Amino acid sequence: MNRVGFILQVKADRLEEYKAHHKQVWPEMLAALSATGWHNYSLFVRDDGLLFGYFETPDDLQTAVARMGETEVNAKWQAMMAPFFEHSADTQADQMMLELTEVFHLD
C-alpha cells in the first residue's frame, strides 16, 4: 500500500463553503473512491486555503487519479468543486495535485 500526500490551494473566500460540501460527500462518490483503491483518505486545510490531502492506495498518485477519472461521479464532483480551487480554468483540481515526498513514517 502506498501512502500519498498532496497539496492544493482552495480559494480563501470559498473555504467555508468548501468545508460544508465535505460534511456530506455524496454516497456514490464515497463508493467510487473506495472501489478505485482510495483508502484512509483525509483532507486538512489551513485558514488561507492551503489544503493537504492524504490517502493510501495500491497505486501511485497518477494511476489512482486516472482510475477515479474513469467514474461518472468523479466528473460531476470535479465540475462542482472547480470554482473552489486556485487553478487554470481548463484543468480539474484532481489534475493539479502536487504530490509531496514522504520523508518519515512511524509503523
Distance between CA atoms of residues 30 and 24, nearest Å: 10
Q: Annotated catalytic sites, by residue?
A: 22
Domain that holds residue 41: 2-100
Q: What is the pLDDT of residues 37-54, one digit of tens each?
A: 999 999 999 999 999 999
CATH number at residue 91: 3.30.70.100
Note if the pTM is more than 0.75.
yes
CB 49 within 8 A of CB 15: yes
Inside any domain, residue 59: yes
Mean pLDDT to the nearest integer, 71-76: 96
Percent of the chain residues topping a pLDDT of 90: 86
Domain assignment present for residue 44? The answer is: yes
For position 93, what pLDDT does the model report? 83
- Mean pLDDT score of the chain, rounded to an integer? 94
Q: Is residue 35 part of a domain?
A: yes
Count Cβ atoms within 10 A of the Cβ of residue 85 and give its class: 0-12 exposed, 13-18 middle, 19 or more buried: buried
